[in-house]
Homo-oligomer: A and B are copies of this chain.
């Protein structure tokens, strides 16, 4: 998992929109494509999903006829917690929030 790849993946509005959908529920490739039907082709969506998968931000699973996608929540939040801890100035309200969130995450014993 490369931090460069993660931020690169986040630098596209359609990819951020896909992540927003997946943060609510897992979806099939077809369901995702439907949401973009008026603005993007299926191959274009597949390309975006592939970028997200390569960045380690989504998982992909073939079930019968459908390919399902879901958010890898820990990859997303872990990267941002680390980034904020490094870059946020002392005055930044995120600084202590992210530190507290990181501590809670650790206590919860969830996968990093």
Contacts and interface: CB of A to CB of B under 8 A. Distances in A.
A97 B99 CA distance: 10
A16 B11 CA distance: 15
A105 interface: yes
Interface residues of A, number: 37
A18 B73 CA distance: 27
Each complex incorporates copies of this chain amounting to 2
Interface string A43-75: 000000000000000000000000000010100
B93 A104 contact: yes
Interface of A: 3-8, 10-13, 16, 19-20, 23-24, 71, 73, 76-77, 80-81, 83-84, 86-89, 91-94, 97-98, 100-101, 104-105
